[in-house]
Amino acid sequence: MTMRDCPDGAIRDLLPLYVSGKLVATEQARVASHVATCMDCATEAELLRTVARAFPVPMLDVASIVAKLPTPRVVPIHRQPLWRVAASLALFIAGTATVLAVIGRQPDAAQVGLVQPVGTQTGAAPETTLAVATSTGGSPAANGALLSLGEELSDLTDAQLELLLGSLDGLDPRPQADPMTIATPIIQDRTQAPSRNNQ
């Protein structure tokens, strides 16, 4: 019996996978069409089938093999050590308390709009006032001009009261920005506020 090698090495390389059906469908069809017309490859494929059949597989007792396998180490939740449960609970409580404490320290939105009068702001220059953008709207400049006069309403002159009322009418009640997004106060020159307000 003389067997020759097909000159197509790539096909010969695939013959074992072709015989065992391990090729993708397109490859399987390509090799099959070659084998159908190539006596050398057909002979080699038959030899490979014979090899695959030639080695009898001893009978195996699957149940016996499985019985000797280790059991997976799965620990049910009710059998977990008590300290693990306690630690998990403590962690949850601590986390919750932290979140609540952080929320409790958030500045009240209504208080954000408060502006301290000139002179009461520690370290503030005499000619400037601190104006924080408020949730009630209006430009910081306008708010600073109107609400930082540093005097009681009863001490204001009629002209000042008219100016104040006129400016209040001009305030936009809608918020111009999310107060939480404004991190730094806006320092405004008090002397420039009226002129900006008049624009």
Partner 1 sequence: MAPNSSDERAVDAALIERWKAGDQAAATAIVERHATALARFAASTGERERIDELVQDTFVRAFNSIHSFRSDAALRTWLFTILKRLVLDRRRAERRQGVHVELEPTHAVQSYNALDSLVADETAQQVRNAVAALLPMQRDVFMLRVTDGMAYSEIATVVGSTEGACRVHYHNAMRAIKEWLSDDA
Contact residues: partner 1, CB under 8 A: 1-3, 5, 12-14, 16-17, 19-25, 27, 44, 47-48, 50-66, 68-72, 74
Of residues 56 and 104, the one with the C-beta less far from partner 1: 56
Of residues 33 and 191, the one with the C-beta less far from partner 1: 33
Q: How far is the CB of 181 from partner 1 (least distance, A)?
A: 45
Q: How far is the CB of 85 from partner 1 (least distance, A)?
A: 20
Burial of 140 (0-12, 13-18, 19+ CB in 10 A): buried
Q: How far is the CB of 93 from partner 1 (least distance, A)?
A: 30
Of residues 75 and 159, the one with the C-beta less far from partner 1: 75
Q: Confirm if 166 and 158 have CB atoms less than 8 A apart.
A: no
What is the Cα–Cα distance from 68 to 190, expressed in whole angstroms?
Answer: 88
Instruction: Name the DSSP class of 130.
Output: E
Instruction: Tokens 């001490």: give the residue.
Output: 155
What type of residue is 177?
A
Q: How far is the CB of 135 from partner 1 (least distance, A)?
A: 53
Of residues 21 and 173, the one with the C-beta less far from partner 1: 21
Q: Confirm if 119 and 126 have CB atoms less than 8 A apart.
A: yes
Token readout for 190 is 């008090």
